Structure 1
Amino acid sequence: MTRYFRRRWNETRGDDHDDWGTSEWCFEVDDDGWVSRQIEVYDSGPTLRYDRAHVADEFGGLSEAPLPLDEFAPHEIPRDAFELAWRG
């Protein structure tokens, strides 16, 4: 079963793009928490999207570890909300 999550990160990147600010992340994951699609939306505007066809770029990449589903459960969102964010 595919699940979807949206979670706010109140920390900056800590790299050359620290001025992007804090961010909101959305994830599409499988039953084991492995991420198949990921969106990062930064407060200053940049939006990064990763999936299995676009795993990484110079700014980051698709999560390399499964999400802890019990920790993310309170942040679950409907598929439609994820798809809307994916389309941007």
Structure 2
Amino acid sequence: MITKYFKRYYEEIRIEKSERWGTCNYYFEADLNGEVIRQIEVYENNKVLKYSEQMMEDEFGFLTDQPIDLIDFKEFEINKNDFEYQWHR
């Protein structure tokens, strides 16, 4: 399967249970249809959330069920090694 990798920064500040998580870098692994296979959320306070088919959701979020637009995300493309580094840290 051919996959693409993306990193996209979101400015929205997240607060969970009165704790400020801050802004977030989202990492996505997607197939050529834009279906997200794995997703990582790295917050300003160093909290990390990871989702995949093996771990689809937790108390804080879930693996997106919406495909990403590969054309819109083109400028956010990263290499596989950058994604895997975040996945395994």
TM (norm. structure 2) is 0.92
Q: State how 1:45-84 maps to structure 2 within 5 Å.
A: 45-84=46-85
Moved over 6 A (4+): none
The structure carrying a bigger helix percent of its residues is: 1
How many residues of Structure 1 are paired with residues of Structure 2 in the alignment?
88
Structure 2 distance, partners of 1:72, 1:18, is 30
State percent identity of aligned pairs: 40
Q: Which runs of 5+ in 2 are unaligned?
A: none
Alignment partner, residue 39 of structure 1? 40
Local SS of the residue matching 1:39: strand
CA contact (8 A) 2:15 2:21 kept: no
Shift of 1:62: 0.3
> Could you list the runs of 5+ residues in structure 1 that have no partner in the other structure?
none
Q: Quote the RMSD (CA, aligned, Å).
A: 1.4
Question: How far 1:68 sits from its partner (Å)?
Answer: 1.0
Post-superposition Cα deviations, 1:28-71, rounded to whole Å, max 9, x if no partner, equal: 00011000000000001110000000000000010110001111
How far is 1:16 from its partner? 3.9
Q: Specify which structure has the higher proportion of strand.
A: 2
Task: State the alpha-carbon separation in 2 of the partners of residues 17 and 64 from structure 1.
Answer: 27
TM-score, L = length of structure 1: 0.93
